[in-house]
Structure 1
Amino acid sequence: MNTPLAHIVDDDEAIRDALAWLFRTRAVECRAWESGEAFLDAWQPDWRGCIVLDIRMHGMNGLECFDALNARGNALPVIFLTGHGDVPMAVGALKAGAFDFLEKPFKDNDLVDVVLRAIDSDTRRHASQATQADIAGRMGLLTPREHEVMQRVLAGKFNKV
């Protein structure tokens, strides 16, 4: 899946539909999931975009889903939504790597702005990884002598030295 998507994970169908409509009005592609389990069953490590994750859901809650994603090596930014959040919960989620934590009710445009920043962050991360992979590939093609010269050039020496 190469197109960046906002993945909406919420057990409330009305919320999922409202968020999907909101995102589409601002040209944000999205996909909705009815549970953390459903999202995890489909999750792929090469997905791009972000995850909008409700904290309180039946079955697996948002924090458990987040922990499972982290254990799988998820790199997508995660934005938590909650109507019952507290400061320790928010601090814990942010320390564990969440991109943001928003309490309901929130302003529609504020949420979309956070989602757009998260997608931009993921896009920049992906581009950086591609650049690093390209550099590593090119470095791997150097002969030992070329590698030695490159190290010295990077250290500030002239090529002739």
Structure 2
Amino acid sequence: MPEEPKIAVIDDDDSLRVALVDSLSSRGFGADGYSSGESFISTAANRSYDCVVTDIHMSGMSGLELVQWLEARGSLIPVILVTANTEAILETAGAAGLLRKPFEIDDLIKCIENAL
């Protein structure tokens, strides 16, 4: 039996982060939540993820800065960005996907499946 894909969800909005982790877990993904990019970095060194889902606009390290941090370390983990922002420039952020809030969980799952 194949192992469930492991997803890191990074968002400083507690209610959204918990809802996404719960929804992904109920759909057969292994999901962990982090309240910041810094929290993910300090914890993820000991864990292996197949995909990262991160908000772009957070206090401290932004989702775009996290993408740059991962790329600088040669990471091949696909990153899906989520945002309430509608700036077109975000389309070129170098991520595996971009979802605009609010979005449906099925749209996120499609992005994750495409990224994997």
**TM-score, normalisation: structure 2:** 0.88
Q: How far 1:25 sits from its partner (Å)?
A: 2.0
Q: How does 1:81-160 map to 2 (within 5 A)?
A: 81-91=82-92, 93=93, 96=94, 98-118=95-115, 121=116
Distance 1:34 1:107 in 2: 21
Q: How far 1:3 sits from its partner (Å)?
A: 5.9
Q: Which SS does the other structure have where 1:60 is aligned? A: coil
**Residues 45, 24 of structure 1: alpha-carbon distance in 2 compared, 3 angstrom cutoff:** closer
Q: Which residue of 1 aligns with 2:28?
A: 27
Q: How far 1:112 sits from its partner (Å)?
A: 1.5
Aligned amino acid, residue 14 of structure 2: E
**TM-score, normalisation: structure 1:** 0.65
Retained in 2: the 8 A contact 1:45–1:74? no
Q: Which residue of 1 aligns with 2:70?
A: 69
Retained in 2: the 8 A contact 1:79–1:102? yes
Distance 1:61 1:82 in 2: 11
Q: Percent identity?
A: 34
Q: Which residue of 2 aligns with 1:134?
A: none
Does structure 1 residue 15 correspond to structure 2 residue 16? yes
Larger Rg: 1
Aligned amino acid, residue 63 of structure 1: L
Higher fraction of helix: 1
Equivalent pairs, count: 114
Q: Which SS does the other structure have where 1:31 is aligned? A: strand
Retained in 2: the 8 A contact 1:3–1:48? no
Post-superposition Cα deviations, 1:64-104, rounded to whole Å, max 9, x if no partner, equal 1111111111111000000113111222x1xx3x1101101
Post-superposition Cα deviations, 1:88-137, rounded to whole Å, max 9, x if no partner, equal 1222x1xx3x110110111221111212332xx3xxxxxxxxxxxxxxxx
Gap runs ≥5 in structure 2: none
**Residues 109, 27 of structure 1: alpha-carbon distance in 2 compared, 3 angstrom cutoff:** same
